[in-house]
Amino acid sequence: MEVTRSRLLNTARPYLQILSILGLTPPPVFFTRTLLKRRRGYLIAGYSCYLLAILLVIIYECYANIVALHQEVDLFRADDFSRVMGRTQKILVVAMASCNQLNMLLNFRRLARIYEDIADLEKDINNSLPGFSVRGHWWSFRYRIAIFVGLWIVLLVGLTPRFTLVGLGPFLHWTNKVLTELVLIMTQLKSAEYCVFVLLIYELILRLRLILQQIVVELEDCNCSPRIQELCVTLKRNQLLVGRIWSLVGEIGEYFTLSMTLLFVYNGLTIPHVVNWALIKSVNPNDCCQYMRIGVTLLLSINIFLACFYSELCIQAYNSIPRILHQIYCLPATEDYQMLKMGLREYSLQMQHLKLRFTCGGLFDINLKYFGGMVVTTFGYIIILIQFKMQVFAQSKYMETANISEMKAFNG
């Protein structure tokens, strides 16, 4: 369980520490061998109490927001499905926090195995091809995770209060508003944790692909039988490492099943909820929050998009491996060595059967295709919502006009 022996995990460690402060993932220090068993027990007990305190705050804020929601619904006389949708959205926040903490408790050993597998894979990949330099490649991972995850965390923390603070309404005390903003940020940052692990897998795949590309370069100019035999052994190791990455992706999918499923459901429900309140308050000419609501919708959509995009990026890198194998198979040196040809066929057959998929426990795939389906579904619900609201507005306008006409007739 030693996290510190992996350069990749050490690079990702600051982001995981930030997320652990917010109660989203166990602190990386829990997974170091240098930590004494008794001290680890004390730290886990203390962190469990900390998580329980966070959960109690979230439950209280859910209750405070539901009370404020009821007051706002009564103020705007929007007691159709706005009350039910708002309650469901806020209860989902509690469900997400509860399931995330339960997941950390039940899957603590699974997460330890994931860290262990990543460290072992990095070590085996670096040792799989002596004679080529792949150790300096980790620097690109540091820049990649800083841009893809670090920058997004900064934007999410900075933009969430700006877009959502005004929309919390006038019935919520300012202390509750501050705590609610923290809860909203914590909820959305679960996607950042998932992206960290996806980028770790992506880096491992890139290194394996780099080794295959170097094998291509070697075989183009090499006719030495001993060296080609060494490359055959390296190719076999590469094949086994790809199989281990495929298994690791399955473990990561199992670990994030509950968390990511609820995050997708929450964001998918919140977007129509925001649109619903935009339609309700559109009758107010002094309302200045419409652009803020557009910002909330974009923020929620981009957060889901990034998780799907990084997963798709990883899948595309994995799917590029068969093309490199085909390049090796077409080289003149391959024709003279039956062992190399058999190794390539076995590797290609494995790639056909072990398709890389990022899933939430098999419930759905996390990729751009699923994101597109989610966008289409959400737009469908929004269109139905707009049609329903237009009908309600038309009926209200008609009743208002009829009442005015009756009053004029009565006075006349």
358-389 confidence digits (pLDDT tens):
988 778 889 999 899 888 988 888 888 777 76
Whether residue 331 has pLDDT greater than 70? yes
Evaluate the CA torsion angle 217, 221, 223, 227 in order and state its sign.
negative
Mean pLDDT computed over every residue of the chain? 84
Residue 290 counted as domain residue: yes
Range from 113-117, 148-152, 280-284 carrying the lowest mean pLDDT? 280-284
Whether residue 304 has pLDDT greater than 60? yes
- Which stretches of 44-103 are assigned E, i.e. beta strand? none
Whether residue 408 has pLDDT greater than 70? no
Average confidence (pLDDT) over 19-44: 83
Residue type, 271: I
Residue 410 counted as domain residue: no
Average confidence (pLDDT) over 87-110: 92
Phi/psi at 130 (5° precision) = -65, 140
Range of the domain at 293: 7-402
Average confidence (pLDDT) over 187-215: 93
Under a CB-based contact definition with an 8 Å cutoff, are residues 8 and 122 in contact? yes
Under a CB-based contact definition with an 8 Å cutoff, are residues 277 and 83 in contact? no
Distance (Å, whole) CA 203 – CA 134? 12
Residue 1 counted as domain residue: no
Residue 108 counted as domain residue: yes
Evaluate the CA torsion angle 11, 160, 80, 275 in order and state its sign.
negative
Phi/psi at 100 (5° precision) = -65, -40
Residue 148 counted as domain residue: yes
What's the pTM value of the predicted model, to 2 decimals? Answer: 0.89
Distance (Å, whole) CA 377 – CA 381? 6
Res 290: pLDDT: 66
Residue 42 counted as domain residue: yes
Under a CB-based contact definition with an 8 Å cutoff, are residues 235 and 347 in contact? yes
Does residue 359 sit in helix, strand or coil? strand
Q: Hey, what are 58's tokens?
A: 């979230």
Average confidence (pLDDT) over 73-86: 73
Whether residue 183 has pLDDT greater than 90? yes
For the chain, the first-to-last Cα distance in angstroms comes to 87
Residue 411 counted as domain residue: no
Rg (CA), the chain: 27
**How many domains does the chain contain in total?**
1
For residues 174 and 74, the model is more confident at 174
Residue 407 counted as domain residue: no
Does residue 207 sit in helix, strand or coil? helix
